[in-house]
Structure 1
C-alpha cells in the first residue's frame, strides 16, 4: 500500500501481558484498520510500527483532532500503572526507512539494552545460550568485535544496523556459520576515526550488540493466522490470546487482497512454553484452519558450516576502498 494511503504509528513502552490486545482494542474503537504492523519485545520493553487506515475511507487519517486523540489514548495504554520510563507514541506519514531498521532504532532509543530484573518473567536468553560479545583493540587503529550466538535469519542485518546507528564504521569482517551457531568478527572504528577508547564505551557496545541479537530471537511458539480481513480482527484475536493468558513476544501483521496473514510468537505469562491444551482451545475458538501451529524454523537442519567475508557477502554495501587498509591485518579468530 502506498505511503499516502496509510498513517504510520510508532510505539514504545513497558511490555506486559495483554499490551498488544489493549492497543488493538483502542485502534478498533477509533475505527482504525490495521493494514500491517510489526511488534518486538525485549528486556521488559515493547516497540511497534503500525500502519493504519481510516475504516470508512480506506486511506490515511488526516484529521488533526482525531490524530491527537489516537496519540493520547495509545500513550495512556502504553504508560500502564508502573512505567518507569516515558511511553512514546509517534504518528506520521511513513518514510522510506526499512521497518525492521526503524524498530532497532526505536528500541535503542528506548535503551532496551539496559538489563532489568523483573519478578516472575524469564529472561529471553539464559546462561550459555545468551550471545557472547567481546572487544579487542589492535595497535590503536581498530577495535575487533567478535560475536558468538545462535544462528538465525537476518542476524547479520541486525548487527550491522546497530553498529551503523551507533556511529561505527565496519572496515572488514568475517561470518562463519555452522548448523546452529554463528560466529562473526568485525573490524570497526567510530566515525571520528578512533577505536573504542573507554571501559564505559566498551560496555555499552557489548550491551547494544547483545540486544540487537536478542530482539528478533523467535522466542515462544509460532502461530500463523490466515483468514479474511475485517475491522477489529486483530483486536479479537489478541483479546482471545490475552483471555487465555498468552503473552505475545513478537508479531508480524500483514493484509493483502482482503486477506489477513499474521504471525505471532507466544509464551505463557511467565515466559514458559504454552500448554498444548490451551492452544487447542484457542484454535477451536478462532478456527482450526485459520490458526495454525508452525514449526520453529530455528530447529530446521542447516547446511554444513560456511565462511563468508563481508566484502563478498554485501557486494557494494561496503565500498572497496575501505578494505585497502587491511593488507597487514590478520583475523584473530
Structure 2
C-alpha cells in the first residue's frame, strides 16, 4: 500500500462551518450505563481537529479518560468517553455536567466556553488577555529564575507560566502584563527592548551555535491552547530527534513483532505503525504507562502533524495504556515512507515523555505573598533537591503548589525538611511517598492512606528555583 492515497473531496471551511451550524454537536452524559465511570457521548459533524477539541475540554477539567471509542467515517464524528474525576469517581456535579455540555457544543473560543460555574480557580491554560513570552532553550538549572528576575526588573508581572523539558531541551511560555497598569504590554518599542534584554540572558547560557529562541507576542483572540503550543514549540525545536523505542526498530516486519513482545514486559513507550490495506488506513499503536492527559498529548501530536483520526480505541488497564489509531494524512494518503513512519514514532514517543513525572510529589498550601515561590524553592536547594516539575496557582489570598523533586544521592525527604519549608512559607506541606496512596502529613508526622491528587494545571520549568515578584492571579 506504499504511496496509497484515499480519495477525499475538496472541503470548504465555510461549508464545514455551515454544516456544524445546521447539525450542532450533541452531548449525552450517562451515569447509569457503567457502575464505575461516567459515559460522555459526542455526536457532531466531522472536521479536522474536532477530536482534539473535545479531549482538550475534558482534560482541562482534570477528568481522567480510561476508555474511548472513536469513529469519524462518512463526515460524522461519534465518540464515547469513559470518564472519572480526579478521585476516580463518577461526575455527579450538575454545574460541571452543564459546563461540559455547553463547552463542547459552544464555539471553543467563546466566553461561554471559558467559564466553568461551581469550579475552584486553577492555573489557566490560555491567557489571551496577556502578552506571551515564548522561549526554546537548552535545559539548564536556574535559567527560568534569571528570566523571571529580568522580567520583574523591567516592570513585567508574571500572571501565568508553563514550561516543559525533554531530551535536554526546554520550552517555556510566560504570560506577562504591565506591573503598574495591570494591562497587557502592547507598545512595540517596549516589547522590542524587553525581548533584547531576555535574549541577552538566554545567550549567556548557551554556547555558540546552540539553538535558542525568544519571542514576545501581543494578546490575540486566536491564541493556541498553552499546552498544545508547548508541544508545537518542542517539535519545532526537534526535541524528538533522539527518541527511540527500547525494543529497537518499530516499523513493520520483525521489528514490530519484537517490539510488541518486548513491550508487554516493560513500562517504556512503544509505538508501531502498520497498514490496513483493505480500508486504506495507517494503523498507529501506542503502548505506555498510563497517566493523566495522555490522550490529549497523543491526539495533539497526530493533529499537529496533519493526520486525521478515522477510528480509534483507547483503554487503560493496570496502569498501562493502549491506544490504537486508524489514520490518514490530511491529504488522504497513508504513511508512505519509512522516514515518515520513523518521524511519527519519534514524535509520539516525545509527546508521551514530555509530561513524564520524576521524583516525589510535594504539595504546598500557604497565604499568597511576594516571594513565596522563591522561599520554597530555596529550601529545596538548601537540602540538595532539584525540582523537575512544578505547578502553582492562586485563588483569592490562597496559593497552592505541587512540586516534583529529586535527589541524585537517593536521599528521601526528611521530616526536618518539611518543617523547614512550613516555617519559611507559614503554610502546610504534604509529601507523597512513592507508593501512590501513601503520603506524609506534617500535622501528624505519619504516613496516611489517601488518594493521589492529579494535575491542577500549568507546569513550570525543570529545576525551577524561583519566580521573582507576586503570584499573579491565575484563572482556569
Change beyond 3 A, Cα 1:145–1:60: same
Rate the CA distance shift 1:22–1:146 in 2: closer, same or farther, 3 A: same
Give the equivalent residue in structure 2 for 1:293.
Answer: 431
Structure 1 residue matching 2:266: 3-state secondary structure: helix
Cα deviations by residue, 1:280-306 (Å, 9 ceiling, x for unpaired): 47615633625443467966999xxxx
Matched position secondary structure for 2:353: helix
| Residue matched to 2:163 | 39
Displacement of 1:165 after TM fit?
0.3
The structure with the larger Rg is 2
Candidates 150, 159, 164, aligned match of 1:26: 150
Q: Tell me the residue number matched to 1:97.
A: 224
**Is the 8 Å Cα contact of residues 10 and 91 (structure 1) preserved in structure 2?**
yes
Q: Is the 8 A contact 1:246 1:266 kept in 2?
A: yes
Alignment correspondent of 2:272: 134
| Pairwise CA distance, 1:130 | 2.0
Cα 1:26/1:285, change in 2 over 3 Å: farther
Aligned equivalent of 1:88? 213
CA contact (8 A) 2:156 2:177 kept: yes
Larger proportion of helix: 1
Deviations 1:206-238 (A, max 9, x none): 100000111111222223343343444445544
Residue 83 of structure 1, CA deviation: 6.9
Match of 2:310 among 161, 171, 178: 171
SS of the residue corresponding to residue 140 of structure 2 reads coil
Moved more, 250-259 or 160-169: 250-259
Pairwise CA distance, 1:66: 3.0
Q: In structure 1, how many angstroms separate the alpha carbons of the residues matched to 2:419 and 2:242?
A: 35
Measure the CA separation in 2 of the matches of 1:108 and 1:200.
16
Aligned counterparts of 2:331 and 2:161: Cα–Cα separation in 1? 36
- Rounded to whole Å, the distance in 1 between the matches of 2:350 and 2:284 is 15
Partner residue, 1:313: none
Cα gap change, 1:286/1:273 in structure 2, threshold over 3 Å: closer, same or farther? Answer: farther
Q: How does 1:139-154 map to 2 (within 5 A)?
A: 139=277, 141-154=280-293
Query: Is residue 217 of structure 1 aligned with residue 356 of structure 2?
Result: yes
Match of 1:252 among 391, 397, 400: 391
Secondary structure of the 1:128 match is coil
Cα 1:9–1:245 change in 2 (3 A) is farther
Using structure 1 for the length normalisation, give the TM-score: 0.76
Offset of 1:240 from its aligned partner? Answer: 4.9
After the TM superposition, which residues 1-333 of structure 1 pair with which residues of structure 2 at under 5 Å, given as runs? 5-79=129-203, 80-82=205-207, 84-92=209-217, 93-94=219-220, 95-115=222-242, 128-139=266-277, 141-242=280-381, 244-268=383-407, 270=408, 275-277=412-414, 279-280=417-418, 283-284=421-422, 286-287=424-425, 289-294=427-432
SS in 2 for 1:255: strand
Q: Please give the root-mean-square deviation of Cα atoms over the aligned residues, in Å.
A: 3.2
Aligned residues of 2:131 and 2:177 also touching (Cα < 8 A): yes
Pick closer, same or farther for the CA change 1:90–1:7 going to 2, 3 Å: same
- The runs of 5 or more residues in structure 1 that have no matched partner are 118-126, 303-333
In structure 2, C-alpha distance between the alignment counterparts of 1:204 and 1:36, rounded to whole Å: 32
SS at the partner of 2:183?
coil
Question: Does the 8 Å CA contact 1:148/1:183 hold for their aligned counterparts?
Answer: yes
For the residue of structure 2 that corresponds to 1:112, the secondary structure is coil
Residue aligned with 1:17, SS: coil
Query: Is the 1:162–1:212 Cα contact (8 Å) retained in structure 2?
Result: yes
What do the CA deviations read for 1:31-58 (whole angstroms, capped 9, x no partner)? 3222221121111111122112222222
Given the superposition, is the C-alpha separation of residues 5 and 193 from structure 1 closer, same or farther in structure 2, using an over 3 Å criterion?
Answer: closer
Distance change (3 Å), C-alpha of 1:33 and 1:230: farther
| Contact residue 251 and residue 263 of structure 1 kept, 8 A | yes
User: Per the alignment, do residues 284 and 237 of structure 1 end up closer, same or farther by CA in structure 2, a change over 3 Å counting?
Assistant: closer
Following TM superposition, by how much is the alpha carbon of 1:194 offset from its aligned partner in structure 2, in angstroms?
A: 1.1
Distance 1:84 1:273, change over 3 A: farther
In structure 2, runs of 5+ residues without a counterpart are 1-123, 245-264, 439-449, 452-476
Checking the alignment, whether the CA contact within 8 Å between 1:28 and 1:232 is kept in structure 2 is no
